[in-house]
Amino acid sequence: MSNVGIVIVSHSAKVAEGTADMVRQMVGEEVPVGYCGGDPDGGLGTSVESILKAVDTAWSDAGVAILVDLGGAETNSEMAVEMLPVERKTKVVVCNAPIVEGAVIAATEAAGGASLDEVRRTAEELSAQ
Q: What are the residue numbers of the active site?
A: 11
What is the secondary structure of 58-88 as a DSSP string?
H--TT-EEEEESSHHHHHHHHHHHHHS-HHH
**Are 36 and 54 spatial neighbours (Cβ–Cβ below 8 Å)?**
yes
Q: Which amino acid is at 118?
A: E
